[in-house]
Amino acid sequence: MASLLLAGGGTAGHVNPLLATAATLLERSHDVTAVGTAEGLEADLVPRAGLQLVEIEKVPFPRRPDGAAVRFPARLRRAISACEDAIDEVSADAVVGFGGYVSTPVYLAARRRGLPIVVHEANAKPGIANRLGARLTEHVAVTFPGTPLRHAQVTGLPLRPDLELLAHTLGSPATRSRAITAARESRGWASDAPVLLVFGGSLGAASLNAALAAAVPTLVGHGIHLIHLTGHGKTEEAYRAQAALPAADRAMYEVAEYSHDMAGAFAAASAVVCRSGAATVCEIGALGLPALYVPLPHGNGEQALNARAAVEAGAAVLVADADLTPAALTLHAESMVLDPTAAAAMRAAARGIGIADGAARLADMVEGAL
């Protein structure tokens, strides 16, 4: 049994893999403590998961030569000192970092203490903290092939327990049909109904919402059932499209801001249209679902890189945000959902690259570093 300090925070992309890994390490009888900030999602999610959270100061890397850059060295030293205190307090045997601002001082504190360091990078394009961390250790886990970090080993993304369970359920012929039937019949749909799931994250995606709303009459007219998660406060356009359908067809178009049961939505789906954040791409791949990815049109291009392996394998197609017209969405959706040959090929390709046991693989790396 070891005492392990896990660091990651700010966004769900860092916190959720941390929590999934923590759950696996706890099952293996290790002690786990998390390090985060008071401002990130970890301040809520980590205690809710029953883990101790050691809070440190948020120290973002300066992007320009201003006052924050002048104050950065002193703030970083304070954060490193706080992480050393945390290491001493829990008698940590190793640290595991998932990126984000909080990981940098943890990596540096661990190096001072001579502790093993394990790095997990969720995105195909690594962030600053993990680029630093990967220079301090040989134990580097990545989600996607080709991630440019030294000593990188592909372990996949640690999945939330409900989705890991669903991945194993859908991967077994003995349980797959039963799970799909239950998810569709709970919506009042036939077990063999073709179903397209469309979502853009908790905030939604305006381009996806607009393209789907315009494509609804055609898709429903061709027998496709729709689950549309619009994002908070963005249901109006979808509800107008639903109301414009013939009364008998409106039940084929399910509209909600978000789902409290994404495992159920994924289980019902024949294919997915969504953004290509790292967690989303990994979840969909592990579930063996065909996908149309529409990367965010801004940022550093990491979403397109996240989808690259799935697209190259034939498990997904990628359409630029500017090119997502109703016609393009309809064309790809009908191929993924209604063409049995195309759908089967994409599902097989997804199963070939999807990793459902990312948490176990990362836990194995942690234990090997001790």
Measured in Å, how far apart are the chain's first and last C-alpha atoms? Answer: 10
**Counting every residue, how long is the chain?**
370
Do residues 206 and 241 both lie within one domain? yes
Model pTM score: 0.89
260 and 252 in contact (C-beta within 8 Å)? no
Q: What share of the chain is helix, strand, coil (3-state, %, to 5)?
A: 50, 15, 35
Nearest Cα residue to 3 out of 38, 26, 37, 30: 30
The average pLDDT across 237-251 equals 97
Whole-number pLDDT of residue 223: 97
Do residues 342 and 365 both lie within one domain? no
Q: What percent of the chain is predicted at pLDDT more than 90?
A: 82
pLDDT digits (tens, 9 = 90+) for 115-132: 999 999 999 999 999 999
Do residues 292 and 176 both lie within one domain? yes
- CA-to-CA distance for 149 and 135, rounded, in angstroms? 8
Do residues 239 and 122 both lie within one domain? no
24 pLDDT above the threshold of 90:
yes
Q: How many domains does the chain have?
A: 2
Do residues 142 and 182 both lie within one domain? no
- CA-to-CA distance for 71 and 189, rounded, in angstroms? 59
158 pLDDT above the threshold of 90:
yes
Do residues 126 and 233 both lie within one domain? no
Whole-number pLDDT of residue 73: 75
Measured over the CA atoms of residue 342, residue 345, residue 351 and residue 354, the dihedral's sign is negative
Helix axes 302-313, 340-353, angle to 10 degrees: 110
The average pLDDT across 231-250 equals 95
Do residues 65 and 171 both lie within one domain? no
Tell me the one-letter amino acid at 22: A
pLDDT band at 39 (very low <50, low <70, confident <90, very high): confident
* CATH classification of the domain holding 92: 3.40.50.2000
The average pLDDT across 314-341 equals 97
Q: CB under 8 Å to 358, separation ≥6 — which residues?
A: 17, 20, 143, 155, 156, 157, 158, 159, 282, 286
Do residues 102 and 242 both lie within one domain? no
Least confident of 165-174, 196-205, 278-287: 196-205
Whole-number pLDDT of residue 202: 64
Structural domain for 44, as ranges: 3-157+357-369
Helix (H) or strand (E) holding 142: strand 139-142
Do residues 87 and 176 both lie within one domain? no
301: left (phi over 0), alpha (psi -120 to 50) or beta: left
67 pLDDT above the threshold of 80:
no
The distance from CA 109 to its chain's CA centroid, rounded to whole angstroms, is 28
Nearest Cα residue to 284 out of 324, 302, 311: 311
Whole-number pLDDT of residue 256: 95
The average pLDDT across 3-29 equals 92
Do residues 333 and 214 both lie within one domain? yes
Least confident of 61-75, 261-275, 315-329: 61-75
Do residues 326 and 362 both lie within one domain? no
Provide the 3-class DSSP secondary structure of residue 13. helix
Rounded to 5 degrees, φ, ψ at 197 are: -105, 125
Helix (H) or strand (E) holding 292: strand 291-293
262 and 234 in contact (C-beta within 8 Å)? no
From the number of C-beta atoms within 10 Å of its C-beta (0-12, 13-18, 19+), residue 341 rates as exposed
60 secondary structure, DSSP code: P
Do residues 124 and 234 both lie within one domain? no
Whole-number pLDDT of residue 79: 85
